[in-house]
Structure 1
Amino acid sequence: MAKHRSQNAGTTRRIAAASAAVATMSVLTPGIASAAEVAVPGTGFGVEVQGVENIPGVANIPGVEQYIPSLAGQAAPAVEAFTAAAAPVTAAAPTSGNQAVVDAVRSKVGAPYVYGAAGPSAFDCSGLTSWAYAQSGKTIPRTSQAQAAAGQQVAISDLQPGDIIAYYGGASHVAIYTGNGMMIDALNSGSPVTERPIDYMPIHSAFRF
């Protein structure tokens, strides 16, 4: 008898839970005349609920046919369209924001070195780097030491075209990295703006704006 009472108590609890679910769904679907059976799996208990089949998205709930048998095989065709629309879209990787810097500095190869000059026809080293960045819409400090202090430090192994390389112990000279182990700089009065290997002089640091 104790076992029988336990089974009855379990059934009562399942019926109560099902009734609560039915009551909730009834509240969500006021005024809808059509009805469908809502069943409690494994109990044989079920009840007709008005409008349950019309609840938006109910047919797409995983396993819903166990509770509303009449919905078996009736998943809304819009689900595929929704899934496709919700699928993440992978954006194309943006091009380097400093390519304009490289293009600008390369256009000045051959321009004369003049101490204190910042373009557009003659340059010193930091005048060249600050002018090239200005062509891409970025304002950076004027002197080599200030540029080295303000930029985001990067490892030489992580250089990207458009990064600035500082040379010598006090970051007294700067150049723009152009890729493939090369840089462009305005070195001194005996040399115009030139593209040369990055290890042409002792490297102090590299940085990015």
Structure 2
Amino acid sequence: MKKLIISIFGAAVLFTSGATSTEASTINTMVNNMTGIPYKWGGTTMAGFDCSGFMRYLFNKYSIELPRTSQQQAKAGTPVAKTNIRTGDLVFFNTTGKGISHAGVYIGGGQFAHASSSKGVSITKLSNPYFNDRYVTARRVTGQFMYNKMIGKI
């Protein structure tokens, strides 16, 4: 009986450690690997992204389908207070003075990832004066399971 329990425990450890190595990258790893990809108006691929195309590309990796434009994306999911934002929440800004015109994804540590027209895919502090002054809303489009996947818990 003791050998059976040890064998089962050993198999569980091996199975668990193998599962994590094949698990999809966390959102932070994906963003870090994509930093510097150029901005491209209407871009939705690794050749170049606009802000909403970048959001669609990232969330598609988690089988979450988002609308095409930042204005449409800002209506998806459920609203989240700025004080309750968590990794994987979409953040939206009014950069033109005409309503929502820019989207990003919160990646923790007070930072969000986005496709900047000047820097391409980049990471910026949410407290950056430019974006802080233009912040409009945040939306949660993930449930607990996808959130855990995004942060690497599963």
- The match for 1:117 is 43
CA deviation profile, 1:146-205 (whole Å, cap 9, x unmatched): 0001221001111111111000151110011000100111121x2121111013311010
- Alignment check: 8 A CA contact 1:125 1:175 kept: yes
- Point out which structure has higher relative CO (alpha carbons under 8 A, 6+ apart): 2
Q: How many corresponding residue pairs?
A: 110
The answer as to 2:103 corresponding to 1:174 is yes
2:21 alignment counterpart: none
Question: Partners of 2:114 and 2:55 in 1: how far apart?
Answer: 8
Are the aligned partners of 2:37 and 2:46 in contact in 1 as well (CA < 8 Å)? no
Q: CA offsets per residue over residues 10-35 of structure 1, 9 Å max, x none?
A: xxxxxxxxxxxxxxxxxxxxxxxxxx
Residue 203 (1) aligns with residue 135 (2):
yes
Higher strand share: 2
- Relative to structure 1, is the Cα distance of residues 165 and 109 closer, same or farther in structure 2, using a 3 angstrom cutoff? same
Q: What is the SS of the residue equivalent to 2:103?
A: strand
- SS for the counterpart of 2:87 is coil
Give the equivalent residue in structure 2 for 1:134. Answer: 60
Measure the CA separation in 1 of the matches of 2:26 and 2:62.
5
Report the Cα offset of residue 129 of structure 1.
Answer: 0.6
Identity %: 31
Query: Rg: which structure is higher?
Result: 1
Counterparts in 2 of 1:135-174, with a 5 A limit? 135-168=61-94, 170-174=99-103
Quick one: which amino acid aligns to residue 137 of structure 2?
S
What is the CA–CA distance in structure 2 between the aligned matches of 1:152 and 1:101, rounded to whole Å? 20
TM-score normalised to structure 2 length: 0.66
Question: 1:60 — aligned with what?
Answer: none
Which position in structure 2 is the counterpart of 1:194? 122
Any unmatched runs of 5+ in structure 1? Answer: 1-98
Query: Runs of at least 4 residues of structure 1 off by over 4 A?
Result: none
TM-score (norm 1): 0.50
Unaligned 5+ residue runs, structure 2?
1-24, 142-154
